[in-house]
Amino acid sequence: MPAITPSLWFDDNLEDAMEFYCSIFPNSTVDSIEYYTDAGPGTPGRALSATFTLDGQTFIGINGGPLFPFTEAVSFTVACRDQTEVDHYWDRLVDGGAVSQCGWLKDRFGLSWQIVPDRLRELTSDPDPAKATAATKAMLGMTKIVIADLEDAVAGL
């Protein structure tokens, strides 16, 4: 099967974005950067495109200008083992960005992320409909997902 690689369109801050993301995710690298030349259309010497890896997932980025900003129609989900991971990714990615609801945030570049603990999926898909409903209702009232609050909602039945 061919590799599927997300490609991200930045205004003119690709290098800043790669540095930011690589500082957050372990085992991350900037793999290559191609620069504009005198052929244009951008400023010679500025980054045109790049390939980078975030914890094993390859991405392509381009400095394409302001024509196509990010929207919530595309987001990246970070599956977290525990609250420590949720807190790490949430706190780092939202720095300079904006919180949303139900584990969603926008980072400082406008890219949407979902920070989702594994326990959320377990609770919202519980075979007991009352437990699944309680967990879902609790999640709907949250910005950052707090596992203890989900557990309390289910235990309170």
60 and 84 in a common domain: no
Q: Which of 34, 68, 102 is the last residue of a domain?
A: 68
CA-nearest of 110, 120, 107, 113 to 153 is 120
81 and 114 co-located in one domain:
yes
Per-residue confidence band for 1, with pLDDT thresholds at 50, 70 and 90 = confident
**Whole-angstrom Cα distance, residue 21 to residue 81?**
19
Q: Confirm if 79 and 86 have CB atoms less than 8 A apart.
A: no
The reported pLDDT for the residue numbered 132 is 98
Give the CATH number of the domain where residue 13 resides. 3.30.720.100
CATH number at residue 114: 3.10.180.10
> Average pLDDT in the 121-133 region?
97
**Do both 156 and 108 map to the same domain?**
yes
101-119 pLDDT, tens digit per residue, is: 999 999 999 999 999 999 9
On whether both 63 and 90 belong to a single domain, the answer is: no
Q: How far apart are CA 129 and CA 114, in angstroms?
A: 24
- Provide the pLDDT for residue 31: 98
pLDDT, residue 42, reads 85
Q: Looking at 45, 68, 91, which one is the last position of a domain?
A: 68
Cα(137)–Cα(156) distance, rounded to whole angstroms? Answer: 13
* Residue 41 predicted with pLDDT over 90: no
Question: Number of structural domains, the chain?
Answer: 2
Q: The domain containing residue 108 runs over which residues? A: 70-157
Is the omega angle on the peptide bond into residue 41 within 30 degrees of 0, that is, cis? yes
Q: CB under 8 Å to 2, separation ≥6 — which residues?
A: none
pLDDT in tens, 13-34: 999 999 999 999 999 999 999 9
Q: How many residues does the chain have?
A: 157
Asked whether 36 and 46 are in contact (CB, 8 A), the reply is: yes
Asked if pLDDT for residue 157 goes beyond 90, the answer is: no
Interval 122-132 mean pLDDT: 97
Same domain, 45 and 121: no
Q: pTM here? A: 0.94
Identify the CA nearest to 54 among candidates 92, 24, 16.
24
Find the mean pLDDT for residues 50-68.
96
Instruction: Out of 68, 93, 112, pick the residue that ends a domain.
Output: 68
Kindly state whether residues 84 and 136 are assigned to the same domain: yes
**Residue 79's pLDDT is what?**
98
Band of pLDDT at residue 43, cut at 50, 70 and 90: confident
47-54 sheet: strands from edge to edge: 7-10, 57-63, 47-54, 29-35
